[in-house]
Amino acid sequence: MKALIGVAAAAILALTAGGIKTALPEAQTGPEQAEGTTSQVRVTAVVDGDTIRVETLGGRQLGRVRLLGIDAPEVDHPPEPPECYAETATGLLERLAPVGSTVELVTDTAQPNRDRYNRLLRYVDHDHVDVARELLASGTARRYEADQALAREASYSAATDDAQDAERGLWGNC
């Protein structure tokens, strides 16, 4: 599996009709930037552009997972309307991590296990694609600045910079 991920990480970009698809980045190996454990789960719902609900492959509910490193526009929270590009971000996450699909959750050893809303904080990979990086590259999410650097920091910063420079997604519309 690691060899397969290494081969995928070596790929630079693969263009598809649905947009830019990027391979998983190689993990940073510094003491403060390391990916931790990986587990396979099933997506049960897409909550918004940066949060999904998951269950174990055996069917035990694990709750909400917030994608590490990104902040998508907020969906409708009455009386507040949805933020600009919220529906697009949610729709893209639904395509990248469809309900019923098996995804890999990856911890980051420098990040907390849960956020203040008790959501698991994880990288989410589906079919060897880093879902959060895709959201950043498409301009449907912004970088979320964590207290400690992310293991995928360089990849996420580059994706954000490219989207901003190209005025892609929310950068050109909001």
The 10s digit of each residue's pLDDT in 80-98 is 899 999 999 999 999 999 9
The answer on pLDDT for 10 being more than 70 is no
Summarize the confidence of residues 113-123 as an average pLDDT: 96
Task: Quote the pLDDT of residue 69.
Answer: 96
- Give CA angle at 92 (89, 95), nearest 5°: 155
56's tokens: 């174990």
CATH at residue 33: 2.40.50.90
Q: For the stretch 39-61, what's the b/e string if a residue is b when 16 or more beta carbons lie within 10 angstroms of its beta carbon?
A: eebbbeebebbbbbbbeeeeeee
**Weakest-pLDDT range from 66-70, 109-113, 135-139, 144-148:** 144-148
What distance in Å separates the CA atoms of residue 104 and residue 125, rounded to the nearest whole number? 5
Nearest to 144 by CA among 160, 128, 131, 129: 160
Q: How far apart are the first and last CA of the chain?
A: 40
Summarize the confidence of residues 28-42 as an average pLDDT: 78
Amino acid at 143: R
Task: Quote the pLDDT of residue 32.
Answer: 56
Amino acid at 120: L
The answer on pLDDT for 26 being more than 50 is no
According to DSSP H, which parts of 55-147 are helical? 86-96, 131-138
Task: Quote the pLDDT of residue 53.
Answer: 98
Tell me how many domains the chain contains. Answer: 1
Better-scored residue on pLDDT, 19 or 163: 163
Better-scored residue on pLDDT, 133 or 3: 133
Percent of the chain with pLDDT over 70: 82
Percent of the chain with pLDDT over 90: 76
What range does the domain containing 136 cover? 2-173
Q: For the stretch 78-111, what's the b/e string if a residue is b when 16 or more beta carbons lie within 10 angstroms of its beta carbon?
A: eeeebbebbbbbbebbeebbeeeeebbbbbbebb
